[in-house]
Amino acid sequence: MTHIEVAGADRIRTVVEDLERVLLDFVRTRGITHAQYRAATDLIIESVKAGEESLLFDVFFEAEATDVGNAGREGSPEAIEGPFYLENAPQLQGPVNVMPQRPDERGVPLLFRGTVTDVDGRPLPGIELDLWHADADGLYSNIHPGIPDWNLRGRFTTDGDGAFQVRTILPPPYEIPKDGPTGRVLRALGRHFFRPAHLHVKLRGAGFEEMTSQLYFEGGDYLEDDVAGAVRDGLVIPLVTVDDPARSTEHGFDRPFVDARYDFVLERRANTSASA
Ligand SMILES: [Fe+2]
C-alpha cells in the first residue's frame, strides 16, 4: 500500500505542510546549525544502513500513533507492532497449540489462553491469532542469529466457542538493540534500553478490523519505564504459577508452568453488519 493510499492526497498535503511548519519553527527557535541539521539527517541514513529505520522511529513515536487509534475504540486496546514482526509464521495445529521451539527451549513454560468476542460479547470462532515473542535470552528468531527460523512465532485460530490456548515459554524483559544509531541516541539521553516482558499478537478475521497488540505481565520489571513507552492499561495481565504435577501433565508440560489469560474484543469493519 502506498503512502497516498494510506493517507489520501489531501491529508498528505495537510500533515506534511503542518510538520514542515513545526520543524522549521523548531530549527529556528532551537538555533539548529547546519552541522547539527546534517548530523540528524546522517543519523537517519545510518539507521537505515544498520537496518534500524523502524527501530529508531518505533522507540520514540509508535506508541503515540497507536494511542490515536485507541481513542474511542470499543475493542481491546492496541499496542505497538515493533520492528520484529514477520508475516507467514507457521500455522499451528490445535486444539492445544504449541509454539515452534527448540527441544531444550529455556524459560518457564507458559500457557496462554483466552477468548475472542465481538464488542457485544458474542464468541468468534475461526479468528486467527498471530503470536510472536522473544526467547529466554530476549532474542527473536529470523532477526537475531543462532536461532532456528520461526522459533516462537506461530499462527492459530479460535475454536467453535471463540476460545484459544497455546503452549510456549514466558519471555523476559529484554534490551532493544543498543549498539547502533538508536542506542547512541538513547545513551545520549541517559535512557536504558529495556522493554518489559511481553507477547506480541495480531488478530485477524473476515469482517473484522485486524488488530495488533501486546500483553505484559503484572509485577514485571520496566512496566513503568518501558524504553518504547508502550505499556497501556488493560494490557497488563496476571501470571498464575501452577505447581501441581497433575495440572502440568494435563496441559502437556513436564514441570511447573505459569498460566496467563486474556480475552480479546474485536471490532467489526465499519461497513460490515453484525449479521454478516
Ligand atoms: Fe518485542
Q: Look at residue 42 and tell me if it is in a domain.
A: yes
- State how far the Cα of 21 lies from the Cα of 113, in Å rounded to an integer: 48
Q: Look at residue 184 and tell me if it is in a domain.
A: yes
**190: Cβ–Cβ under 8 A, 6 or more apart, which residues?**
none
pLDDT score for 276: 41
In the reported structure, the alpha carbon of residue 200 is separated from the centroid of ligand 1 by a whole-number distance in angstroms of 6
pLDDT score for 3: 66
Q: Which domain holds residue 154?
A: 33-266
- State how far the Cα of 16 lies from the Cα of 85, in Å rounded to an integer: 27
In the reported structure, the alpha carbon of residue 214 is separated from the centroid of ligand 1 by a whole-number distance in angstroms of 8
- State how far the Cα of 162 lies from the Cα of 127, in Å rounded to an integer: 8
- State how far the Cα of 44 lies from the Cα of 56, in Å rounded to an integer: 8
In the reported structure, the alpha carbon of residue 130 is separated from the centroid of ligand 1 by a whole-number distance in angstroms of 14
In the reported structure, the alpha carbon of residue 142 is separated from the centroid of ligand 1 by a whole-number distance in angstroms of 13
- Asked whether residue 200 carries a pLDDT value surpassing 90, the answer given is yes
In the reported structure, the alpha carbon of residue 46 is separated from the centroid of ligand 1 by a whole-number distance in angstroms of 22
- Asked whether residue 258 carries a pLDDT value surpassing 80, the answer given is yes
DSSP state of 221: T
Give the lowest-confidence range in 88-92, 93-97, 164-168, 185-189. 93-97
In the reported structure, the alpha carbon of residue 209 is separated from the centroid of ligand 1 by a whole-number distance in angstroms of 22
Please count the other Cβ atoms lying within 10 Å of the Cβ belonging to residue 136: 15
In the reported structure, the alpha carbon of residue 186 is separated from the centroid of ligand 1 by a whole-number distance in angstroms of 17
- State how far the Cα of 175 lies from the Cα of 183, in Å rounded to an integer: 10
- Please tell me the total count of domains within the chain: 1
Residue 4 confidence class, pLDDT cut points 50, 70, 90 = low
In the reported structure, the alpha carbon of residue 198 is separated from the centroid of ligand 1 by a whole-number distance in angstroms of 6
- State how far the Cα of 26 lies from the Cα of 41, in Å rounded to an integer: 15
In the reported structure, the alpha carbon of residue 137 is separated from the centroid of ligand 1 by a whole-number distance in angstroms of 12
Query: Do 105 and 139 contact (CB within 8 A), yes or no?
Result: no
In the reported structure, the alpha carbon of residue 174 is separated from the centroid of ligand 1 by a whole-number distance in angstroms of 8
Q: Look at residue 66 and tell me if it is in a domain.
A: yes
Q: Look at residue 10 and tell me if it is in a domain.
A: no
Q: Look at residue 59 and tell me if it is in a domain.
A: yes
- Asked whether residue 204 carries a pLDDT value surpassing 90, the answer given is yes
Could you tell me the CATH number of the domain that includes residue 180? 2.60.130.10
Residues forming a β-bridge with 155: 91, 130
pTM over 0.85: yes
Measured CA to CA in angstroms, residue 62 lies from 118, 137, 275 at distances of 26, 24, 34
Q: Look at residue 233 and tell me if it is in a domain.
A: yes
In the reported structure, the alpha carbon of residue 42 is separated from the centroid of ligand 1 by a whole-number distance in angstroms of 27
Q: Please, what sign has the CA dihedral across residues 71, 74, 79, 81?
A: negative
Mean pLDDT, all residues of the chain: 94
Q: Look at residue 4 and tell me if it is in a domain.
A: no
In the reported structure, the alpha carbon of residue 82 is separated from the centroid of ligand 1 by a whole-number distance in angstroms of 6
In the reported structure, the alpha carbon of residue 63 is separated from the centroid of ligand 1 by a whole-number distance in angstroms of 13
> Where does 29-162 show beta strands of DSSP type E?
97-98, 109-118, 128-132, 153-157
Instruction: Supply the DSSP string of 139-198, one letter for each residue.
Output: --TTTSTTS-TTTTEEEEE--TTSEEEEEEEPPPPEEPP-SSHHHHHHHHTT---EE--E
End-to-end CA separation in angstroms for the chain: 26
- State how far the Cα of 224 lies from the Cα of 192, in Å rounded to an integer: 13
In the reported structure, the alpha carbon of residue 240 is separated from the centroid of ligand 1 by a whole-number distance in angstroms of 22
In the reported structure, the alpha carbon of residue 272 is separated from the centroid of ligand 1 by a whole-number distance in angstroms of 32
Q: Look at residue 224 and tell me if it is in a domain.
A: yes
